[in-house]
Amino acid sequence: MKYFTRLRVRRVYRWRGEPVRFNRKLRTREYSSLAISVEGLPRVTVINAGQHILIEGEDEDNPYVARVVRLFGDESGKQKKAVVQWFVRVSEVPPSKLKLLGREPHPQEIFYYQGRSCDDEVNAESILRPVQVKHLDGAAPFPDSDDKDTLYVKLSWDSKSFKAVDSAVVESASEPAPASSLPPPSPTSRPKPSLPSSPPCSPPAAAPASRGPSRRALPTPDPTIMRKASLGEVRYRRATMSAGKAGAAAEAESRHSATKLSASKCLSAKRRNASARTPGVRKKLELSSPEKMTREDILDQLLDEELESDAMLAQRLSSSPPRALPLDQRLTPLRKAHRDPTVQDDVLLQPSIILNKVSLSETEGPASSARDEPTSPQQGDVMEAELPSGSVQTPRRRNATPRRKQATTPSRKKDLKTPREPVLGVLAEVDDENSPMLPAAATPRSSKRKSAQLVSSRIRKQLNLLDNQLDLNSDGEDEDEFIPSKKEMQSSSEEEEDGEEEAGLDSDEEVVAKKIRHATAGSRTPRSKQRTRSSTRTPRKTPSRKITPGTPRTPRHATPSIPSRSLPARQPANVLEEARARLHVSSVPESLPCREQEFQDIYSFVESKIMDGTGGCMYISGVPGTGKTATVHEVMRCLQHAADVDEVPPFHFIEINGMKMTDPHQAYVQILQKLTGQKATADHAAALLEKRFSNPAPRKETTVLLVDELDLLWTRKQNVMYNLFDWPTRRHARLVVLTIANTMDLPERIMINRVASRLGLTRMSFQPYSFKQLQQIIMSRLNKVKAFEEDALQLVSRKVAALSGDARRCLDICRRATEICEHSATDPFATGLVGMSHVMEALNEMFSSPYVAAIKCASVQEQLFLRAVIAEFRRLGLEEATFQQVFVQHQALCRVEGLQPISVSEGLAVCRRLGACRLLLLEPSRLGVLQRVRLNVSQDDVLYALKAD
């Protein structure tokens, strides 16, 4: 359950410098850069034209990627706008189209967007922060050993196909920008017309580019030549990586330092301690990655090192169980007090794994360390696959506890992850309370290692597959870990030295073990990360509930289903069965005959609205069974198809049905759930939808909403209807509402003026089918299966057309006729065809009134009673009499018929029986002889039935 109750981080957007240009016509001023500062933090992020940025979108973890083309504001400076060139993430490309790629998309791959359905003007205040986007040559593999924080462009996407893209179009200044003092880099200063296929670790290609001076000189946004690398799982975290790595981490840190607690002092102390080792580490790193280090890389490493030291501290502490005991008691207060330190710990923890690798490489040499890194993700993946539940890790970690005393590195490594996971849990909560939306804050949490990302993406996929039980297991485990590890972390920092010694003690065989464990840790990381990630969106109380939305992980979110059958369904065996299957109302016809005009009208209405990006309402009426819903569905199928082949812009189709909800206000809940997958109470959902439809959002698709059985959404205040029809009129809503109900004059009858007025006059009425149309419908359904005689079909369609024009009825009669035919024929292959007689029988079954037959089959006294009723009615000249009056007649009739008169009790019983069948309408039987009696059948019917006897 997701409730959007968190506070947003408030960002302040300011223009930097004087306007570059002034457009007199539009009265806008163009600026060169925009400064974003987060309230309460000193740091300022600068966005320049030409820079790649992340833009706030519907999915807060997958913000949109774009490049700033122009920044401008109106004269008053109130409105800040940006013209952007969009990039699409893999997740935004329709899955069906992903196949065109011909390969697995890289999780960090993005595509240069060349479609035209998106507005390229966005509100500048939706900009989150800069991001680094790199262009890769078509053949170049995605770099995966380092610099996992950038997005890659290889191809462009024009909503139909992928094309290669020129690097010049993509590459631009993307400055991490924590230090705004640096000169803005320019993409044009380093033109790379054809980037040589970069080596796997090719940040230098982009990194120097980021130092180029100008972002004023815009790279020519020639859409045809852009492209991009990306990958299957697009995530906020990843997106934030490039910019966020240094910048955001710093921001997080500064944030924390602003609210400094005692732990930060420890941190600085540790930093000092660690600094002794720093040069060596860096050297190793440089060895293993021969490329030139970018500024961020260096920054990263610096950061990593301090983090690592912090982590080591934590680890070491955890290895002293006795000390943990006293700490246990103040666990709870501590948790509150040291919230910030824990966040920091978390920040530090991930890099600490790198440290281990580094220390490993110290023993093994740079080559092995270089080899190690890329392989670890795979290992992690394997591990995860084999031991999908996290429970495996638990025993291992426990085993590790004794070993820890032997001071071996592997055990340490295991410990490494021990503190991390729980911290993440804590962090998530901290985040919820403090600054859930702050992208920078999210960054440190995310792993900086590509391996972790890779694995996490795979795990994510796996998680989707794994069943709930597993999730429960792993979740439960997390909770177990939560508290102890907390203790470990908060214990004092004395054992740091030991840890360092341990690092050197690696033996060769332990390297292997380490690798595996490391892999486990790696595989662990993304999962906990994932949890954290979703927590940024959904504040939850326990870590166990941090679930990727939409994935049925726990029973609470399980989508139920009817168990599948153990024996397969039998296929139709003969012509009649085949016909019956085709005639079933549920079978979806290939096309909808006889509704071409209506189809065309609805199609063009919706299509034009989608094309224009506007909204509108349409009211469709017609008696049941005239194909209203089917036609709308057909229109939507066609439009969806058109959208797939890019004839119309993509849109989102959702439908609700007034009959399928318990209360009109549930409509909001259902719409919201179908639109975004969130669950909310009706009031809250209404508020969210209101916000969604009234606020401009970048790259919003048109939503087509089908409201079936509209009349049931009526409420006293009619606010549900009002909202449904009001939203489409909003400027930014892009909402098309199609409403269906039975009565033609519903708007006039039940709607108050302001609702009816908003519904507008776009109305359509479905006439009942004529007999020819019905015939055509049956014929098209049968589709050359010869099962009916011509005359029989005509009889059915004429009969139904005369009665109701309900196509469902028509199909049901035909279906029943095939059954009758099947049963009546001794040899089913003799005649085969359904004839007039069968249809007649079916018609009789369905349409003949049962009353006459029921009267004929009634007992003698019941028949007599009916006669007495009629006699009494005639005597009184009224259509109503009391039982007592009728009973007098009844007694007289009994004598006439030579029957023994019945007692009052028995008479009442007879009367009651007739009442139960509704041949008579009775007052409640407690009135006894005084109850009034009416006939529910016409007197003629009764007399006819009795006479024929």
Partner 1 sequence: MMESRTAHAPRSSQQMGESPSIMSKRKAKDAHLPVGECITQVQRILRERLCHQQLPDKPEGVEAQQKHLLELLKRTAVHGESNSVLIVGPRGAGKTMLLKCVLRDLLEEKEAQKNLLQVHLNGLLQTDDRIALKEITRQLHLENVVGDKVFGSFAENLAFLLEALKKGDRSSSRPVLFILDEFDLFAHHKNQTLLYNLFDVSQSAQAPIAVVGITCRLDVLELLEKRVKSRFSHRQIHLLSSLTFTQYLERVQTQLSLPEDFPDTKFAQDWNDSIKTLGEDKSVEEVLQRHFNSSKDFRSMHMLLTLCLSRVSVAKPAIKPADLQEASRLCFADAKANMLHGLSILELCLIIAMKHLNDVYEGEPFNLQMVHNEFKKFLQRKSNSMYNFEQPVIMKAFEHLQQLELIRPVDSSSAKTQREYQLVRLMLDHSQIMEALQKYPQCPTEVKQWGMSAFG
Return the residues of window 601-640 that contact partner 1 according to CB under 8 A: 623-625
Q: Measured from the CB of residue 522, what is the shortest distance to partner 1 in angstroms?
A: 32
- 């923890």: which residue's tokens? 349
Residue of 40, 196, 280, 850 that binds partner 1 (CB under 8 A): 850
SS (H, E, C) 246-283: HHHHHHHHHHHHHCCCHHHHHHHHHHHHHHCCHHHHHH
Residue closer to partner 1 (CB basis): 158 or 819: 819
- Contact of 510 with 363, CB cutoff 8 Å: no
In the region spanning residues 72 to 111, those forming contacts with partner 1, defined by CB under 8 A, are: none
Residue closer to partner 1 (CB basis): 742 or 770: 742
Q: Measured from the CB of residue 898, what is the shortest distance to partner 1 in angstroms?
A: 11
If we measure between CA atoms, which residue out of 104, 228, 96, 119 comes closest to residue 174?
228
- Contact of 336 with 289, CB cutoff 8 Å: no
| 928 lies in the site for partner 1, by CB under 8 A | yes
Q: Measured from the CB of residue 12, what is the shortest distance to partner 1 in angstroms?
A: 42
> Among the candidate windows 48-56, 225-233, 574-582, 781-789, which touches partner 1 by CB under 8 A?
574-582
d(CA 393, CA 418): 10
Dihedral of alpha carbons 400, 402, 408, 409, sign: positive
| 892 lies in the site for partner 1, by CB under 8 A | no
Q: What is the DSSP letter of 949?
A: -
If we measure between CA atoms, which residue out of 408, 422, 432 comes closest to residue 489?
422
Q: Measured from the CB of residue 599, what is the shortest distance to partner 1 in angstroms?
A: 20
Residue closer to partner 1 (CB basis): 304 or 634: 634
Dihedral of alpha carbons 634, 638, 644, 646, sign: negative
Q: Measured from the CB of residue 509, what is the shortest distance to partner 1 in angstroms?
A: 46
Q: What is the DSSP letter of 602?
A: H
Residue of 512, 761, 857, 878 that binds partner 1 (CB under 8 A): 857
Residue closer to partner 1 (CB basis): 375 or 469: 469
657: Cβ–Cβ under 8 A, 6 or more apart, which residues?
707, 708, 709
Query: How far are the Cα atoms of 239, 347, 388, 503 from residue 448, in angstroms, in the given order?
Result: 11, 10, 23, 22
CA dihedral 309, 314, 319, 324 (to 10 degrees): 150
- 948 class by beta-carbon count within 10 Å (0-12 exposed, 13-18 middle, 19+ buried): exposed
Residue closer to partner 1 (CB basis): 195 or 667: 667
Q: Residues binding partner 1: what is the number (CB under 8 A)?
A: 86
Angle, helices 508-537/339-364, rounded to nearest 10 degrees: 150
> Among the candidate windows 399-407, 482-490, 769-777, 802-810, which touches partner 1 by CB under 8 A?
802-810
- 């009619």: which residue's tokens? 718
Query: How far are the Cα atoms of 97, 119, 376, 419 from residue 711, in angstroms, in the given order?
Result: 39, 36, 60, 57
The CA radius of gyration of the chain, in Å to the nearest whole number, is 37
In the region spanning residues 202 to 241, those forming contacts with partner 1, defined by CB under 8 A, are: none
Interaction mask 929-948, partner 1, x per CB under 8 A: xx-----x------------
d(CA 50, CA 556): 46
Interaction mask 474-503, partner 1, x per CB under 8 A: ------------------------------
In the region spanning residues 819 to 848, those forming contacts with partner 1, defined by CB under 8 A, are: 819, 823, 845-846
In the region spanning residues 530 to 569, those forming contacts with partner 1, defined by CB under 8 A, are: 555-556, 558-569
If we measure between CA atoms, which residue out of 168, 132, 154 comes closest to residue 198?
154
Residue closer to partner 1 (CB basis): 194 or 905: 905
> Among the candidate windows 300-308, 451-459, 576-584, 941-949, which touches partner 1 by CB under 8 A?
576-584
> Among the candidate windows 118-126, 245-253, 750-758, 808-816, which touches partner 1 by CB under 8 A?
808-816
| 924 lies in the site for partner 1, by CB under 8 A | no
- 């699409």: which residue's tokens? 88
In the region spanning residues 663 to 702, those forming contacts with partner 1, defined by CB under 8 A, are: 663, 666, 669-670
- The values of phi and psi at residue 616, to 5°, are 180, 170
| 806 lies in the site for partner 1, by CB under 8 A | yes
Amino acid at 682: A
Q: Measured from the CB of residue 621, what is the shortest distance to partner 1 in angstroms?
A: 12
Q: Measured from the CB of residue 51, what is the shortest distance to partner 1 in angstroms?
A: 45
- Contact of 740 with 774, CB cutoff 8 Å: no
Q: Measured from the CB of residue 582, what is the shortest distance to partner 1 in angstroms?
A: 11
**Helices assigned H by DSSP within 72-208:** 95-98, 167-170, 203-206
Amino acid at 636: M
Residue closer to partner 1 (CB basis): 102 or 924: 924
Q: Measured from the CB of residue 812, what is the shortest distance to partner 1 in angstroms?
A: 5
| 712 lies in the site for partner 1, by CB under 8 A | yes
Residue closer to partner 1 (CB basis): 21 or 584: 584
Residue of 581, 642, 785, 836 that binds partner 1 (CB under 8 A): 581
Q: Measured from the CB of residue 850, what is the shortest distance to partner 1 in angstroms?
A: 5
In the region spanning residues 280 to 319, those forming contacts with partner 1, defined by CB under 8 A, are: none
Half-sphere exposure (CA, 13 Å, Cβ side) for 313? 28
Residue closer to partner 1 (CB basis): 329 or 900: 900
Q: In Å, how far from its chain's centre is CA 34? A: 33
Q: Measured from the CB of residue 99, what is the shortest distance to partner 1 in angstroms?
A: 24
Q: Measured from the CB of residue 562, what is the shortest distance to partner 1 in angstroms?
A: 5
Residue closer to partner 1 (CB basis): 246 or 902: 902
Q: Measured from the CB of residue 624, what is the shortest distance to partner 1 in angstroms?
A: 3
Q: What is the DSSP letter of 788?
A: B
Q: Measured from the CB of residue 809, what is the shortest distance to partner 1 in angstroms?
A: 7
Half-sphere exposure (CA, 13 Å, Cβ side) for 376? 34
Query: How far are the Cα atoms of 57, 289, 376, 450 from residue 201, in angstroms, in the given order?
Result: 30, 8, 16, 11
Residue closer to partner 1 (CB basis): 7 or 899: 899
- Contact of 303 with 342, CB cutoff 8 Å: no
Residue of 902, 920, 933, 935 that binds partner 1 (CB under 8 A): 902
DSSP-assigned letters across all residues of 423-458: HHHHHHHHHHHS-TT-HHHHHHHS---HHHHHHHHH
| 587 lies in the site for partner 1, by CB under 8 A | yes
Q: Measured from the CB of residue 619, what is the shortest distance to partner 1 in angstroms?
A: 16
In the region spanning residues 716 to 775, those forming contacts with partner 1, defined by CB under 8 A, are: 742
> Among the candidate windows 131-139, 200-208, 695-703, 894-902, which touches partner 1 by CB under 8 A?
894-902
Residue closer to partner 1 (CB basis): 138 or 850: 850
- Give SS3 for 708: strand
Residue of 100, 258, 483, 588 that binds partner 1 (CB under 8 A): 588
| 469 lies in the site for partner 1, by CB under 8 A | no
Residue of 123, 473, 614, 884 that binds partner 1 (CB under 8 A): 884
- 């099962």: which residue's tokens? 787
**Helices assigned H by DSSP within 330-449:** 331-337, 339-364, 366-386, 393-406, 409-433, 439-445
| 877 lies in the site for partner 1, by CB under 8 A | no
- Give SS3 for 108: coil
Interaction mask 641-660, partner 1, x per CB under 8 A: ------------------xx
Q: Measured from the CB of residue 636, what is the shortest distance to partner 1 in angstroms?
A: 16
Residue of 42, 916, 938, 949 that binds partner 1 (CB under 8 A): 916
Q: Measured from the CB of residue 944, what is the shortest distance to partner 1 in angstroms?
A: 16
